[in-house]
Chains A and B, each alone.
Chain A
Amino acid sequence: MAQKTYAGIVLEVNEEGYMLEKNQWTKEIAKAIAQEENIELTEKHFEVIEFLRDRVAKGEGLTIRSIGKSGIVDIKGFYGLFPGAPLKLATRIGGLPKPVSCV
């Protein structure tokens, strides 16, 4: 557990940098976290983040496959927006907990 300052606000984050209190999230905070990853957030990025935040609010699981079927982006597009490990990155930028890999 640690504290980080994004967009002038001090936030509690876990050891992997995920916000502990998702209700504190704002778009400015998202932009600041994305800056650390050298990502400039666009409308498309925010559409995906809203989709993820919506699903989490409804208690639904997050999967790359469901984002691909969301109608917002396909899976390749998702990787383009959040390179590397897109779901982990998008959730961190979006103020959500790291998705639990259920195996």
Chain B
Amino acid sequence: MKKIIIVGAGTAGTMMANKLRKSLSKKEWEITIFDKYRTHYYQPGFLFIPFGTYTQKDVIKQKAVFIPNGVNIIYAEIDRIDADQNKVLLTDGKEYSYDFLVIATGCQTKPEETPGLKEANWYKNIFDFYTIEGAVALHAFFKDWQGGRLVMTITELPFKCPVAPLEFVFLADAYFTKRGIRDKVEIIFTTPMSGAFTKPKATAMLGRLLSEKNIKLIPDFYVESVDSENNVIHSYDGKEVAYDCLTIVPVNMGDEVIARSGLGDDLNFVPTDKNTLRSIAHENIFVLGDASNIPASKAGSVAHFASEALIGNMLEAINGKPMSHSFDGHANCYIETGFGKASLIDFNYTTEPLPGKYPVPLVGPFTLLGNSCINHLGKLAFKTMYWEFLLKDRKLPVSNNMSMAGKIKD
């Protein structure tokens, strides 16, 4: 029996478990998926928890529900991957060998990487909403908060869900407005980037929204440390921003198991070919989702689009054929902008987010780079799409590689 191991049963690992099991004979191929935890979180839902739109139960299901029959799921901690010996070694001493490996270990927030961040005031007036604990703690804080300086800070690039910090401040603006205390809340957004986002058209649109909503943008701010006694963040070049409530995207790094296995770069991301999705260092290892170092956004949509190229390439590699599928870096993200509206960006490695209609030219129904209620409905509907379609590998009615259909070029 030949073996495939998938490390990580989050979004990427679950999609590959479904795709591989459908494509490979159970008589010839044993597929095993490993994860430390039994709970599957709908991470895009965390953003809504501080504002009371979602609660914990909206974002939690059991991983086992999404793993198909015929795939062994083992809940255990992996000590390391021995890529030279084609083995996965657990902390309890057990060893599992593989013919092919899919690394889908994701990325985690590492508040310890920023001096002063995870100290006495962590979850008292300093929060992340990238974990369930942080999002729930922030909800409790916001409920009674009477106003002050709310600072949203991005510490380092890359980080998962690149639009989430912007969505957060847009939703905060709406939330405090509805509570009637927006004039008592000063909202500030600091980022190490030079603008609200990376590419020109999206940066201009998002920058405009920040300004319209009276949210102050402080660009080129690279956080060195947090002084939680005095409620101040410091940048490496001596700038300071004071806060009453700090919401932060901590440094994001790949899983520790990647570091222990010697497979990662200095942020524990696995060097991966951006088109074939194969590990640069090992021919029988493939990487999907946030765990890789490909220059695409760390987002579920990217993992979804990439998984189509990946399954094609893995099946070819398994059969000794050259890999013919190329992932184009396609990403697709709704951006909540508050008051029941959202924007949408659709882009890839070579094409920045452009205005237009998606997915059908002229008709849409979603508006690219524009602000609409239908986009917001799309974002909310996405929770169902995620649980019912994406994870279970049921087809979605959009093209896998980015399409220029419906987009308006200059």
Binding site for B on A (CB under 8 A): 60-61, 63-66, 69, 75-76, 78-79, 83-85, 88, 100-103
B198 (CB) vs chain A CBs: closest residue: A101
CA–CA, A78 and B235, complex, Å: 13
In contact, A103 and B266 (Cβ under 8 angstroms): no
Ordered by A's residue number, 6 sampled pairs between the chains whose C-beta atoms are within 8 Å are A64-B236, A69-B266, A75-B236, A79-B237, A88-B194, A101-B157
Which A residues touch B220, using CB under 8 A? 84-85
**Apart from A101-B194, A103-B193, A103-B198, 11 more pairs, CB < 8 Å:** A61-B293, A61-B295, A65-B156, A65-B266, A78-B236, A84-B237, A85-B220, A100-B295, A101-B198, A102-B157, A102-B295
Shortest beta-carbon distance from B284 to chain A in Å: 22
Interface size class of chain B, counting residues whose CB lies under 8 Å from the partner chain: 20 to 34
Once A and B bind, how many residue pairs between them come within 8 Å at the CB atom?
48
Shortest beta-carbon distance from A16 to chain B in Å: 11
Shortest beta-carbon distance from B306 to chain A in Å: 15
Q: Given known contacts A69-B266, A101-B198, A103-B198, is B236 in contact with A76 (CB within 8 Å)? A: yes
Which B residues touch A84, using CB under 8 A? 220, 237
In contact, B193 and A75 (Cβ under 8 angstroms): no
In contact, B197 and A103 (Cβ under 8 angstroms): yes
B378 on the A face (CB < 8 A): no
In contact, B198 and A79 (Cβ under 8 angstroms): no
Q: Given known contacts A61-B295, A103-B157, is B266 in contact with A66 (CB within 8 Å)? A: yes
Binding site for A on B (CB under 8 A): 156-159, 162, 192-194, 197-198, 220, 222, 224, 236-237, 265-267, 293, 295-297
B295 (CB) vs chain A CBs: closest residue: A102
- Among A61, A69, A84, the most chain B Cβ lie within 10 Å of the Cβ of A61
Shortest beta-carbon distance from B273 to chain A in Å: 11
In contact, A103 and B156 (Cβ under 8 angstroms): no
Contact for A103 among B162, B236, B237, B293, CB less than 8 A: B162
Q: Given known contacts A65-B267, A69-B266, A79-B237, is B158 in contact with A103 (CB within 8 Å)? A: yes
CA–CA, A64 and B157, complex, Å: 10
Which A residues touch B162, using CB under 8 A? 103
Q: Given known contacts A75-B236, A79-B237, A85-B220, is B266 in contact with A101 (CB within 8 Å)? A: no
CA–CA, A66 and B297, complex, Å: 20
B331 (CB) vs chain A CBs: closest residue: A103
Which B residues touch A83, using CB under 8 A? 237
